[in-house]
Amino acid sequence: MKEKDELKQNLKQAIMNEISAQKFYGELVLIIVKQQPQERLQAIIKDEKQHETDLRKCYELYFGEIPDLTNLQPPEMPKVSADLNTTRHLLEFAIDEESKAAKLYRRLAESAKSKSEHNLFELLREMELEHKEIFRHELDSLTLGMDWFTIETASPMEE
């Protein structure tokens, strides 16, 4: 019974995390003025929406009910700002969150009761690791080449 309750709670938290990631990444898109990084981030948002959908279906399949997220606290997300120093921290935060999500999906895959459940969580884990690498690339691009901003739109770095 404890394992079932733990799976239930982990799935609910994973759904909440995916929703929070969509909102956070949506705010990040708004500060980017160049098209390519915007498109990469919009693709990640689309993936996160699909993850939410897949997790909801999984929850409903296993527990025969719609997940109730009302008592869950969404993860705390940092305030989005377009200055370079803050943006760097936001990307580092996104990298860390994607890494945490991948670890959660790894644990869920390891405790999966069926091959299809295991495959779903492994797929989600792999996608989160891909997102982590995309954010790492974005951080490198921001640091090395200001790929997110133009000189006219960039705020000065914080002292």
We report the CATH number of the domain holding residue 24 as 1.20.1260.10
- Per-residue pLDDT reduced to its tens digit, 15-55: 999 999 999 999 989 988 778 888 989 999 999 999 999 99
Q: In whole angstroms, give the CA distance from residue 150 to residue 11.
A: 40
**pTM of the complete model:** 0.82
Structure token digits, residue 91: 């990307």
Crossing angle (nearest 10°) for helices 35-63 and 115-145? 160
Q: In whole angstroms, give the CA distance from residue 50 to residue 18.
A: 9
Range of the domain at 138: 2-65+81-145
Residue 74 lies in a domain: no
Residue 49 lies in a domain: yes
Q: In which band, very low, low, confident or very high, does the pLDDT at 109 lie, cut at 50, 70 and 90?
A: very high
Q: Who's near 64: CB < 8 A, 6+ residues apart?
A: none
Residue 111 lies in a domain: yes
Number of domains in the chain: 1
